[in-house]
Amino acid sequence: MNEQPNNPLHGITLEKLLNQLVDYYGWEELGAMIDIRCFNWEPSIKSSLKFLRKTQWAREKVEELYMNTDFDEKH
* Domain limits, the chain: 14-66
Cα separations in angstroms, 54 against 1, 3, 48, 57, 63:
24, 25, 10, 9, 14
Crossing angle of helices 45-54 and 56-68, in 10° steps, is 120
Predicted TM-score (pTM) of the model is 0.85
| pLDDT of res. 43 | 96
Tens digit of each residue's pLDDT (9 = 90 or more) over 1-52? 455 667 778 788 999 999 999 999 999 999 999 999 999 999 999 999 999 9
**Neighbouring C-beta atoms of residue 72, cutoff 10 Å:** 5
CATH number of 14-66: 1.10.720.30
* pLDDT of the residue at 9: 80
User: pLDDT at position 10, please?
Assistant: 76
Predicted pLDDT of residue 37? 94
Residue 7 is predicted with a pLDDT of 75
